[in-house]
Each structure stands twice: as C-alpha cells, then as structure tokens.
Amino acid sequence: MEIRVGNTYYNIRPRLLLIVAGAALAISLLSTVIYTVQAESQGIVLRFGRYVKTVEPGLHFKLPYGLDQVLEVPVRRQLKQEFGFGAFGSSNPTQVVSADEQDAERSMVTGDLNAATVEWIIQYRINNPRAFLFNFREPGETLRDVSESVMREVVGDRTVDEVITIGRQEIESEALVRLQAVVKKYGIGVGIDQVQLKNVNPPIPVQPSFNEVNQAQQEREKSINVANGEYNRAVPRARGEAEQRISAAEGYAVKRINEAQGDATRFNALLAEYLKAPEVTRRRIYLETMEEVLPQVRSKIILDDKASQPLPLLQLGAEPKRP
Amino acid sequence: MKPTVPLLPIVVVVVLAFILLLTAAYTVSETEQVIITQFGRPVGQAVTNAGLHLRMPFIQEVNRIEKRVLRWDGRPSEMPTKDKTYIIVDAFGRWRIGDAKQYYLRLKDERSALSRLDDILGSEIRNAIARHELIEVIRTTKDREPERDAAIEDARGNVGNLYPIHKGRAKVQQEILANAAPKIEVFGIELMDVQFKRINYNTSVRTRIYERMVSERQQIAERFRSEGAGEAAKILGQKEKDLQTIESEAYRKTQQIQGDADAEASEIYARAYNQSPEAAALYEFLKTMDTYKAVLTNDTSLILTTDSDFFKFLKRANPLQPTTP
C-alpha cells in the first residue's frame, strides 16, 4: 500500500496499519475504563445511576461509555464554614456568604432582649459520602442554615453578658453538641468537629457604653487603691509613733523611780549622819548654804536690830557706776 | 449450492431490536425518581429505586423528579409580634417530594413548589409570630438559669436576667410545621421541618434597643463609680478611726505609765522623809536650804539683821552672852 504525501510515496504495509489502529482503540478504551481516586477522597461508583460501591484512593477500573459513573467526595479534607465574616476564595463554595449577608448573619438577639454580633466558624468533614451526595441536594447550604439556627438558639438562651464575656466556652460546646445532634438526625453525611466563636461584640453603637463599664470598674479599683494608699501612709506611722510615746513614757517612769530611789538613798545616808550629831550637821549645812548663796546676791543690807530710825547702811556689794 | 441465509434482513432486524431496546431502557439516578407518563397521563407509581429500567418505547415519556431533600429559604420579612415589636424573620425549611405523582400533577416543577411554600409558610410564620411575644421565639430552654458576671451581680433592673417563656422557639417552630405540613401535603410535598434562621429587630426598634442597652450599661458604670467612692470613703473613715484609736490609746498608756511612776516615786520619797520626826525635820531643813540656792540669785536684794544666825558674830564673838544695855 502506498501513501502519497506531496511528491513522496511511502510504502506502508496494511498489517502495520491495522496494529496501530488497534492500539489506538485499546488506549482510548483503557482511558475511559481506568480512573484514579485522590488520596483525600473516596469514590462513589454508580452503574446506570445506581450506587454499587465505595472505593478507596488509588487506581480502579470501571465500565466504559458512561455505564459506570464515579463521583469523588473529599472525605478526608477538613472543611470550614465561616459565619458573619470571611472572604471568598476557598474551594468550598459554602464557606462564606456575600459581605452584605454577613451583617445579617452575625446580628442576634439575646435572651434578655439585647443585641449582640456573633461571628463563628464550624469545622466539619464529610463522614458519609453516600448520604452527603444522595440525601440532600444542597448539603452545604443546609448545614449553614442549621448552624445559624442552632447558634441563635444557644445565644437566645443566654444573657448579653454571657454571650460577650463569661459564657463563650459554654456557648461553643453547647452549639457543638446541638449541631452534631441535628446533623445526625438530618443525615447530611457530615461530622461536626468544632464550633468556634470568633469576634463576639455588642453592636457598634453600644460598644462605647460597654467600655465605659470596664473603665468604671477600673476607676473603682483605682479609688479603692488610692484610699488604701492613704490608709497605709498614715496608720502604720501612727502606730510607730504611739509605740515611741509609750516607750518614752516608760523611760520617764524608770527615770523617775530611779531618781526617787537615789534621792531616798542619799537622804537616808545623810539622815544617819545627822542623827549622830544633829546640831552640828544642821549648822554646817546652813553655813555651807549661806556660803554658796550670799556671794550670788548683789546687794546685801545688814541691819542691827538695836538701831532704829535712820539706819546706817553697810554697802557690801559695789554699786555699778552711776552718773 | 448451499442454502444461504439472507444476511441483510437479519442485520436489519438485529439493529432495529437494538434501537428499540435503547429507547425502551432508561436509567434512574440515586438522586431522582421517575414518573412515567403516557400521552401526558402518569402511569403507575413513581420509580424510586435507582438503576436501569424499561418502558414502552415511543408512547411513554420519562419525567425526572428530585428525590433528595430540598431547601426552602424564606425571604427575610418584617412582621409584628404579639407585643407589637417589629422584627425581621428569616426562616428556612426542608422538604422533599413525597408523592411524586401528586407533585407532578399539581405542580410539575420546583419553581411553583417553592412559590406554594412561600405562600403557606410565609403566612403560617406570620401567624405564629403574631400569636407570641418576641421572647418566645428567641429563647428555647424554659428553666435555664443564666450564669452571672460576679462584677454586675446585683445590678438593678433586668441586667443579667433572662425573660421568662412559656413555650420557646422549638415549640413555636413545631406549631408552624404542624399547621403548614397538611396544607402543603396535598401538593405531594412532605414538609420535614421549619426553623427560624434569623430573627432581628427592625431598624427603628433596633435604635431603641441600643438606647436601652446603653442606659443599662451606664447604670452599671455609675454603680461601679459610686462603689469605688463608697469603698474609698469607708477606708478613709477606717483610717481616721484607727488613727484616733492608736493615738488615744498611746495617750492613755503614757499617762498611766507616768502616773504609776509618779506614785511610786512619791511613795519612795514619803517612805524616806517620813520615817521619823527627825527625818521630817531634816528634810524640811534641807529642802529650805536648796530653795535658798534657787531663790537667791544675783538680782536679789537681801536685807539681813545682825540677829540672824549668820551675822550674829558680826557684833559679838559670843552672842550667847547678853549685851550690856
């Protein structure tokens, strides 16, 4: 057999041609018969639309020409949905909603009829690919709906203070338990791993007043501290000073008694001598005193008791000069 | 000559049979159910098990209908509660086509099904909301005691309290479902549940709610401030009290100590000076002498007579002899 390309003639044997054609056919057939399932997925095999089996990752064979259909479900991938925040760009189409929807998503009413904005995420995995594919047409959206409903149920049973501050953990765990129960009851085919609260705040117009409460709390602590400071500045010092005064008084007491005893001892000693010769002792003391006292006295006038009227004066001390 | 089988007719028959088989066969997926219609009229029950099925070729038609659970997502709409609060309610429901034949006859497609759901559920939700106070569709658990923030434990007003409920959200949802399900059932639709997705105050109510929240918080803040001032005053009062106590006690103690000491000293002196008349006389004499020392200083003028003990020798060596007149 000759094939002409341009002016060149190729001599090709018909048998070779047949082999090549056969090989091409085989390859094309093989390519529709062989398929792979990715590591993170499981494959659901349908024959004429009916479920036949679930296959694990790896290379597999199926019937060609659309008789068998394989649906891959990423069962090992951790999936996430964000509520009230988030940006597009994830491979999971139900991970976020549009930005204007997010505002409605995070606004909630609490059980004391206050408002709060709650942002949260759920982490989940597809744990039953058959159920995930065949039970719900929009499993991701349904999960979002249920998650919102459950979160509002939990928040609706709590006060705004619980939601914003003290009850966060409890809300997470309670929402997780309820969501797991609902998802199981529905048979969506997913398992919820986690519910996490993100930003939980009072609505923006109310936020300043919540801050005010915090500030007031701080102010209270501050004024108590200041007062305690004043107390601490004065009272221990006063205690010390009181101790000081008492010690001084005790010192005085010791001194007073010691002196008294000293004086008494001295007096007794003197008395003993005095009793031996009272007249002489008395006289001696008198004269000693006079000796000590009289020189101190500036003007001394000595009168004779016999002299009367114009008295002769005896000037004992020298008068300072007078003009 | 061998009798030959006519090849062509056989081929034609085989091909025709094959084409016939192909048009008679149809597949049903796991996600759908099929209603067979003959000249537009449904024939038999819906085919719900997935796989390969046969029908009469050419005269019977295959109508595929969803088998999975579907989602009704209500539009958020504003409505008043029993206590005349305007709220925006956004609900969702799950439904599936339970009676495919009925569904096919009454609605044919999903859009008209959703429109029926909108009508029926919309009005049932509106009724339910109007029959209940707002708190009934917010709270669920009747007897839940809220945890309290220790800091605002005894704030006045309704801070930290949950409003009481009689039914709760879950019951109201069940009522809506119970009322709506029979109405929607005639369309071959099985309504599985209805839930509130979002409930929010409308814009004008929201402003008032915010104002209330602000005033509530300010009230708490005021309490903190006043508590702070009160505590401080208490501490300062305690300080005054402690200071006075400490000082007066110190005074009392010092006076007592000094008094005791004075008393003891007096006793010692008394014991020494009062032991005998001679002692008393000596004491008086000594004390007088001491007093002279203190009193007679250099600005004193002293007028003495020769009659005194000191100057008596000034006139006479022996004053004991009487002077001659």
- Is residue B312 pLDDT above 80, yes or no? no
Distance between B33 CA and the closest CA of chain A, angstroms: 11
Q: Are residues B104 and B129 in the same domain?
A: yes
Q: How many other C-beta atoms can be found within 10 angstroms of the C-beta atom of residue A8?
A: 7
Residue A6's pLDDT is: 73
The SS3 of residue A273 is helix
Q: A163 with A153: CB under 8 angstroms?
A: no
- pLDDT tens profile B197-235: 999 998 888 888 899 889 988 888 898 899 899 999 999
The SS3 of residue A7 is coil
Burial class for B166, CB neighbours closer than 10 Å (0-12, 13-18, 19+): exposed
Q: Are residues B136 and B30 in the same domain?
A: no
Residue B4's pLDDT is: 65
Distance between A149 CA and the closest CA of chain B, angstroms: 5
Q: Which residues of B touch A263 (CB under 8 A)?
A: 268-269, 272
The SS3 of residue A50 is strand
| DSSP per residue, A224-255 | HHHHHHHHHHHHHHHHHHHHHHHHHHHHHHHH
Cα–Cα distance list, A9 to A5, A12, A13, B272 (Å): 6, 9, 13, 163
CB contact under 8 A, B296 and A296: yes
- Is residue A311 pLDDT above 80, yes or no? no
- Is residue A280 pLDDT above 50, yes or no? yes
Q: Does residue B243 form part of some domain?
A: no
What does the angle CA B244 – CA B245 – CA B248 come to, to the nearest 5 degrees? Answer: 80
Q: Are residues B43 and B88 in the same domain?
A: no
Q: Which residues of A touch B147 (CB under 8 A)?
A: 162, 166-167, 170
Q: Are residues B295 and B307 in the same domain?
A: yes
Q: How many CA atoms lie within 13 A of A205 on its CB side?
A: 13
CATH number at residue B176: 3.30.479.30
- Is residue B125 pLDDT above 90, yes or no? yes
Name the percent of chain B lying above pLDDT 90: 39
Q: Are residues B83 and B132 in the same domain?
A: yes
Distance between B205 CA and the closest CA of chain A, angstroms: 11
Q: Give the whole-angstrom CA distance, residue A287 versus residue B313.
A: 13
Name the percent of chain B lying above pLDDT 70: 93
Q: What is the mean pLDDT of residues B306-318?
A: 73
Q: Give the whole-angstrom CA distance, residue A190 versus residue B34.
A: 28
Token pair belonging to B274: 């009062």
CB contact under 8 A, B214 and A267: no
- Is residue B132 pLDDT above 50, yes or no? yes
Q: Which residue of A has its CA nearest to B49?
A: A50
Q: Which sequence spans correspond to the domains of chain A?
A: 2-73, 79-202
B residues 121..150 contacting A (CB < 8 A): 134-135, 138-141, 144, 146-149
Residue A89's pLDDT is: 75
Q: How would residue B324 be classed by pLDDT, with cut points 50, 70 and 90?
A: very low
Q: Are residues B120 and B165 in the same domain?
A: yes
Q: B100 with B37: CB under 8 angstroms?
A: no
Name the percent of chain A lying above pLDDT 90: 47
Q: How would residue B183 be classed by pLDDT, with cut points 50, 70 and 90?
A: very high
Q: At what angle do helices B277-295 and A278-293 cross, to 10 degrees?
A: 10
Residue B114's pLDDT is: 92
Q: Which residue of A has its CA nearest to B85?
A: A113
- Is residue A121 pLDDT above 50, yes or no? yes
End-to-end, the C-alpha distance of chain A in Å comes to 177
Residue A190's pLDDT is: 93
How many domains does one find in chain B? 3
What does the angle CA A275 – CA B294 – CA A297 come to, to the nearest 5 degrees? Answer: 110
- Pick A159's closest partner by Cβ from B51, B146, B285: B146
CB contact under 8 A, A223 and B238: no
- pLDDT tens profile B16-31: 888 888 888 888 888 8
Residue B155's pLDDT is: 61
Q: Which residue of B has its CA nearest to A105?
A: B198
Q: Are residues B132 and B168 in the same domain?
A: yes
Name every residue whose Cβ is closer than 8 Å to that of residue A262 and which is 6 or more positions away in sequence: none
Distance between B6 CA and the closest CA of chain A, angstroms: 30
Residue A322's pLDDT is: 45
Asked if the C-beta of B23 comes within 8 angstroms of chain A's C-beta atoms, the answer is no
Q: A151 with A120: CB under 8 angstroms?
A: yes
- Is residue B323 pLDDT above 80, yes or no? no
Q: What is the mean pLDDT of residues A37-47?
A: 90
Of the listed ranges B117-126, B254-263, B303-312, the one predicted with least confidence: B303-312
Cα–Cα distance list, A149 to B142, B176, B196 (Å): 18, 15, 6
- Which segments within A140-261 are labelled E, that is strand? 190-201
Token pair belonging to B242: 């402690």
Residue B199 has phi, psi (to 5 degrees) of -130, 125
Residue A241's pLDDT is: 92
Q: Which residues of A touch B29 (CB under 8 A)?
A: 46, 49-50
Token pair belonging to A203: 């609505």
- The structure's pTM equals 0.72
Asked if the C-beta of B225 comes within 8 angstroms of chain A's C-beta atoms, the answer is yes
Token pair belonging to B230: 């009160």
Q: Are residues B24 and B43 in the same domain?
A: yes
Q: Give the whole-angstrom CA distance, residue B84 versus residue B79.
A: 9
Residue A231's pLDDT is: 93
Q: How would residue A149 be classed by pLDDT, with cut points 50, 70 and 90?
A: very high
Q: How would residue B325 be classed by pLDDT, with cut points 50, 70 and 90?
A: very low
- Is residue A320 pLDDT above 60, yes or no? no
CB contact under 8 A, B138 and A113: yes
Q: Quote the mean pLDDT of chain A.
A: 86
Q: Does residue B170 form part of some domain?
A: yes
The SS3 of residue B94 is strand
Amino acid, single-letter form, for residue B324: T
- Pick B218's closest partner by Cβ from A46, A49, A212: A212
Residue A323's pLDDT is: 43
Count of all residues that appear for chain A in the document: 323
CB contact under 8 A, B135 and A234: no
Residue B320's pLDDT is: 63
Residue A146's pLDDT is: 94
- pLDDT tens profile B266-295: 999 998 888 888 888 888 888 888 888 888
CB contact under 8 A, B224 and A210: no
Residue B153's pLDDT is: 63
Residue A5 has phi, psi (to 5 degrees) of -120, 115
Residue B253's pLDDT is: 93
- pLDDT tens profile A222-264: 999 999 999 999 999 999 999 999 999 999 999 999 999 999 9
Q: What is the mean pLDDT of residues A266-289?
A: 87
Token pair belonging to B301: 């003028």
Q: Give the whole-angstrom CA distance, residue B59 versus residue B40.
A: 10
Asked if the C-beta of B252 comes within 8 angstroms of chain A's C-beta atoms, the answer is no
Q: Does residue B111 form part of some domain?
A: yes
CB contact under 8 A, A216 and B221: yes
| Bridge partners, B70 (sequence order) | B95
Asked if the C-beta of B278 comes within 8 angstroms of chain A's C-beta atoms, the answer is yes
Q: A84 with A118: CB under 8 angstroms?
A: yes
Of the listed ranges A219-228, B38-47, B251-260, the one predicted with least confidence: B38-47
- Pick A300's closest partner by Cβ from B233, B302, B306: B302
Residue A195's pLDDT is: 94
- Is residue B194 pLDDT above 90, yes or no? yes
Q: How many other C-beta atoms can be found within 10 angstroms of the C-beta atom of residue A200?
A: 20
Q: Does residue B61 form part of some domain?
A: yes
Q: Domain residues for B55?
A: 7-66
- Is residue A310 pLDDT above 70, yes or no? no
Residue B192's pLDDT is: 92
Of the listed ranges A73-77, A145-149, B50-54, B304-308, the one predicted with least confidence: B304-308
Q: How would residue B7 be classed by pLDDT, with cut points 50, 70 and 90?
A: confident
Name every residue whose Cβ is closer than 8 Å to that of residue B59 and which is 6 or more positions away in sequence: B38, B39
CB contact under 8 A, A248 and B70: no
Q: What is the mean pLDDT of residues B143-152?
A: 76
Q: Are residues B37 and B128 in the same domain?
A: no
Q: A79-202 domain in CATH 2.60.40.420? A: no
Residue A237's pLDDT is: 92
Q: Are residues B188 and B77 in the same domain?
A: yes
Q: Are residues B33 and B81 in the same domain?
A: no
Residue A239's pLDDT is: 93
Q: Are residues B51 and B129 in the same domain?
A: no
Q: How would residue A321 be classed by pLDDT, with cut points 50, 70 and 90?
A: very low
Residue B322's pLDDT is: 55
Residue A66's pLDDT is: 75
Q: Which residues of A touch B143 (CB under 8 A)?
A: none
- pLDDT tens profile B87-107: 999 999 999 998 888 898 888
